[in-house]
Amino acid sequence: MDSLEVFLPDSQFEQAFSSLIDHIFITYVVATRAACILFSSDSTNSLINTIQISATQPVISMFLNSAGRYDPRLTANIDMGCHAFVMDQTNAIFFLDSYTITHDRATIRHPNKTLVIVQDPTTEQDPDFKDHVRKHPAVQDIPRLLLVEPRGDEIDLYTHWFKGTSEEAAELLFLDTYSTRNESFLWEADLFPDKTMNMERKMYRLASFRLIPHFIFTPIYDEPWIALYKNQTMRIDGMGGLVMVEFCGKYNCTWDLQIDQAGEWGVIYDNGTGDGIIGTVAERRADVGVGSLLTWQTTHKFLAFTATIRKVGICGFAPRPRLLPPWQTVILAFEPEVWLYIGISVVCCIATYALMAGFETHVKTKGVGWNAMNVIAVFLFQGAGILYRTLPECILSIALIAFTINVGNIFVGKNASLRTFPLFESPIDTDADIANRDIIWTQTHEAWVHSLLLSQNPIVQKVVANFRAHTVPELLVLANQGHVAFGVSKLNYGHYMIGTFITAQNVHLYRLMKEDLYFEYEVSMTTKTWPLIDRLSDLILRIVASGIRAYQEPIVAKRYMDYGVQIKIFHSQDKEEVLPHAMEVEDLLLAYMVLGVGLSLGVVAFAGEYLFHWHMGRKQSWAVKAK
């Protein structure tokens, strides 16, 4: 490219140039909160100093420090709303080199950046400058690029093609010529044409992994395609995948799939590296990520979020309450506290009888063991000899009999009522149940608890501590055992994302919790500088508003999921039917247990007495022989 003729702009040229920049901002940059004019201490471009912008947005002027990787002050200005930049060629390459890190460290996201680069007419131009700008990777994130090239009493205006292949996107496009004499355009062309409506099959990188029912990709041959994976044409399906298909169908782009199946949703470390979907986008190995990504606060620091795709309820698929054996109904008639009070009452009665017997000298009494047996006999509705001794004992015995009749009748009635209907263990229905009963719940990735990590609620903290991540084969083994809970994501129209480890053979072991563990919002995530995020958000909102997802969801579910398992999950909270049946040995198990304990204690007592009397007899015989 030939170098331009060097000339010194006069005051008329400088005034016309300032009017041009002012016209650009008034006409094309009205939505920007602020404009940044970047100066350089090494610049000789006097045109930058003449810029006077009369638009309503404020203008921030700063000298760009190009000593390091980036200028933190520019990041601070971006956070204050500066999203349109004017600079000369001395700052342009450094600005583009630091464009990614400058915006990655900013908090405010604005995808439609405007960049105006003014070449210095007073120095000999670098013939490769335009090539450096148009081929720079950063300009592929800046569709609103304008190169201002003063030439004599005219100013030529250029932009890059941006669309199509990487070679086509880097081509310069001549827009118009501005005359500084009459301050008018030669062609009255649009200086910032919309380059995003038809991307001419421009390829963007899409990060995801095979996640039923959200993202599924399968090879295709000799068919129209919009996605590639390792140079193989692919068909994309799934609830999130269909959004990406529709996006490229509308804007005529293509996807280069970046799949990290092992990393799944992934993680981002403090230094900005990571794996999985979010790590791939954070490292800019992909432009967009999709696949049931939620609005994780820890991720928002590094990435940009689109509009909400859907509301997500995260629930638990917990072990089904087991039918209690009939013998346990005897114990369940009273709460543990009641059994404790009854035990204390027995002990108090025995102690009282023993105390009374200790003060009786004219009546023959028996020991503590005999009193204990009689008190227990009264509690079992059996006759007792303690009724016919002294007056205090008779009064206490009458009160004891009245008490035991009352408690016993209540117990018999309660026990009979409990046997009317089958009893089950208490269900696991809330996060408090998981925390209080120390239930382990699991899934394939720690992303299932990302939304709970910052909670200060002790119950939620316990739920997070009880989470375990396992591989799919390990989860299949656990699912067949039926002892742990599994995380499940509720779709919006009656289906569930849970995993292939829940099968027709083990789904009956589990029951869906009545309350969600938490809810979140699903989004797609992009780099902070991806220029089409507003387009994608607009499409997402239109898809959600149309209601078409109510039609897509059952189709995807029937196509890729075990629909029998889905139906059983949906009906897992239905009451389990237990038919009436004749009494079995198990119904009398507690009675036999009591009888067995009694027989055992009786035999032990008999053996003890026998050995005692045998020993005493031998001792007496030895004493006789000794005499």
Residue pLDDT, tens place only, 263-285? 999 999 999 899 999 999 999 99
Tens-digit pLDDT profile for residues 363-415: 555 667 777 777 777 777 766 555 556 777 778 777 888 888 888 888 777 77
User: Tokens 């501590």 map to which residue?
Assistant: 465
Peptide bond connecting 213 to the previous residue in cis, omega within 30 degrees of 0: yes
Q: Mean pLDDT across the stretch 468-491?
A: 95
DSSP labels for 544-606? HHHTTHHHHHHHHHHHHS-HHHHHHHHTTTSPPP-------GGGGHHHHHHHHHHHHHHHHHH
Dihedral of CA 398/399/402/403: which sign? negative
Helix H, strand E, coil C: the string for 152-204 is CCEEEEEEECCCCCHHHHCCEEEEEEEECCCCEECCCCCCCCCCCCCCCCEEE
Phi, psi of 464 (to 5 degrees): -65, -40
- Can you tell me whether residue 396 is helix, strand or coil? helix
Across 348-357, 584-593, 612-621, least confident range: 584-593
| Contact yes or no for 544/551 (Cβ under 8 A) | no
Contacts of 158 (CB under 8 A, 6+ apart): 130, 146, 147, 149, 172, 173, 174, 175
Contacts of 594 (CB under 8 A, 6+ apart): none
For the full predicted model, state whether its pTM sits above 0.85: no
Phi, psi of 258 (to 5 degrees): -115, 100
d(CA 414, CA 149) in angstroms, rounded, equals 95
d(CA 487, CA 520) in angstroms, rounded, equals 14
**Beta carbons within 10 angstroms of residue 279's beta carbon:** 24
User: Tokens 């928002």 map to which residue?
Assistant: 300
Residue among 263, 270, 252, 307 nearest 286 (CA): 263
Categorize the per-residue pLDDT at 52 as very low, low, confident or very high, splitting at 50, 70 and 90: confident
| Contact yes or no for 177/157 (Cβ under 8 A) | yes
Q: Mean pLDDT across the stretch 522-527?
A: 97
Q: Mean pLDDT across the stretch 574-591?
A: 68
d(CA 578, CA 564) in angstroms, rounded, equals 23
pLDDT-above-70 percentage for the chain = 90
Contacts of 496 (CB under 8 A, 6+ apart): 488, 489, 490, 512, 566, 569, 570
User: Quick check: 208 pLDDT over 90?
Assistant: yes
What confidence score (pLDDT) does residue 2 get? 45
Burial of 447 (0-12, 13-18, 19+ CB in 10 A): buried
User: Quick check: 313 pLDDT over 70?
Assistant: yes
Contacts of 65 (CB under 8 A, 6+ apart): 71, 73
Q: Mean pLDDT across the stretch 523-548?
A: 95
User: Quick check: 55 pLDDT over 80?
Assistant: no
Phi, psi of 96 (to 5 degrees): -70, -40
User: Quick check: 362 pLDDT over 80?
Assistant: no
Tens-digit pLDDT profile for residues 597-615: 778 888 888 888 888 888 7
What confidence score (pLDDT) does residue 122 get? 72
d(CA 352, CA 399) in angstroms, rounded, equals 13
| Alpha-carbon distances of 415 from 127, 327, 330, 339, 584, rounded to whole Å | 98, 10, 6, 14, 17
Cross-strand pairs, 488: 315
What confidence score (pLDDT) does residue 1 get? 40
Dihedral of CA 248/251/256/257: which sign? negative
- Can you tell me whether residue 267 is helix, strand or coil? strand
d(CA 419, CA 135) in angstroms, rounded, equals 82
Tens-digit pLDDT profile for residues 134-152: 999 999 999 999 999 988 8
Q: Which long-range contacts (CB under 8 A, 24 or more apart) does 393-401 make?
A: 393/353, 393/356, 393/357, 396/349, 396/352, 396/353, 396/356, 400/349, 400/375
Categorize the per-residue pLDDT at 347 as very low, low, confident or very high, splitting at 50, 70 and 90: confident
Q: Which two tokens stand for residue 427?
A: 């269900």
